[in-house]
A = this chain, B = another copy of it.
Amino acid sequence: MKLLTPFIRRSLQTATAAGLLALAWPLGAADGDQALLDKAKSLFQPLPASSALADSTPQRVALGKALFFETRVSNDGRLGCATCHNPAFYGADALALSVGVNGKVLPRNASTVFNTSLLISQHFGGNRATVEEQAVKALLSPLAYGNTSYEQVEKKLQVLGYQSWFEKAFAGDAKPLSADNWGKAIGAYERTLLTPSPFDRFLKGDTQALSTQAKLGLNKFIDTGCAGCHSGVSVGGQMYQKFGITQDYWLATGSTEKEAFKGYDKGRFHDTKNEADAFIFKVPQLRNVAVTPPYFHDGSVASLPQAVRVMAQLQLGKQLSADDVAHIVSFLESLSGEVPADFAKAPVLPVAPH
């Protein structure tokens, strides 16, 4: 090992990150913490300090936070971002399928908003490129906010008293209060919602940040092949993958046919109509997975150990032992971060002027 030049070592690590795990694993070698840390660092990165865009400002973030909690813009006056992305549930909603405007059941489970700005795209189908685009398009979705036009949204925001908020946040714009800026503000806010966890401390070199069991789990997570998809800064969320490689996913998850999909959810196919996209979903990030049940795109599995077993079987054709599952769960628990203090504190929203 020591004979490898840094260059070759780095190259092998890069190969690892690219998925050539079988080649790279021997680099981990010993059971020692440092070897595990090196192995982990080739696959994962700690959270950045921020994912803010260059034009983010405190005013923009404050506006975005208010809008995130604002329900009066939706068709029934009850739905806001925070409805499905609730501080009390680690930025998710603890439901199998979320519920949108006017009580309409959404076709998929709501992922946590935490760290989502770092993902390759938004939604399980990846049909939203950025958090900003997601926020804007939700306004007109008949299942989400249920508005009929952006003009309607802008009028509502004016009546509620948001004009001066937008003017402060988008001072240079010809039209500060706009649906586009709704998206930019909410995006600016969501980009602050990162949740550093014990695993980040580990990745930064503190090998005592993980328990012995969590380290066993991390090693098993990598050796089993989970990190082939669940890698990168968000431990997933960086690629698309077929769900159900060894068999149809519903045989293992207990998923039922859904009216919204006229059968089983075929993932990206429903957006692209391309058969090659059938059952292709965005790989979910695993940050905060232990605190955001239930699991999978349809919330069909409530238990994390069961979700781990299902994934090993469906995606990798492996039957994990009870110990392996327990260790991996312990590792996944190390991905739970603190709820960002600012997110936990509800904003006080403007009251429409008398």
Residues of chain A whose beta carbon lies under 8 Å from any beta carbon of chain B: 69-72, 76-78, 82, 86-90, 93-95, 99, 102-103, 290-291, 293, 302-305, 329, 339, 344-349, 351-352, 354
Contacts and interface: CB of A to CB of B under 8 A. Distances in A.
A99 to B, nearest CB: 6
B303 A329 contact: no
A94 B76 contact: no
A55 to B, nearest CB: 26
Contact of A344 (B71, B95, B345): B345
A293 B351 contact: yes
6 contacts: A78-B95, A78-B99, A86-B346, A302-B352, A303-B354, A345-B346
A71 B76 CA distance: 19
Contact of A346 (B77, B290, B344, B351): B344
Given A71-B94, A95-B78, A351 B86 contact: no
Contacts of A346: 86-88, 339, 344-346
Contact of A304 (B76, B78, B302, B354): B354
Please report whether the interface of chain A is mostly helix, strand, loop or mixed according to DSSP: loop
Contacts of A354: 290, 303-305, 329
Contacts of A304: 354
> Which residue, A72, A95, A348, has most C-beta atoms of chain B within 10 A?
A348
A94 B160 CA distance: 11
Nearest to A326: B354
A76 B90 contact: no
Contacts of A347: 88
Nearest to A308: B354
Contact of A77 (B78, B90, B95): B95
B290 A351 contact: yes
Given A345-B344, A354-B305, A77 B102 contact: no
A88 B69 contact: yes
A78 to B, nearest CB: 6
Contacts of A95: 77-78
Contacts of A72: 94
Contacts of A291: 351
A252 B28 CA distance: 78
B349 A89 contact: yes
A331 B11 CA distance: 72
Nearest to A348: B339
A233 to B, nearest CB: 23
Contacts of A90: 348
Contacts of A290: 351, 354
A38 to B, nearest CB: 29
A305 B76 CA distance: 25
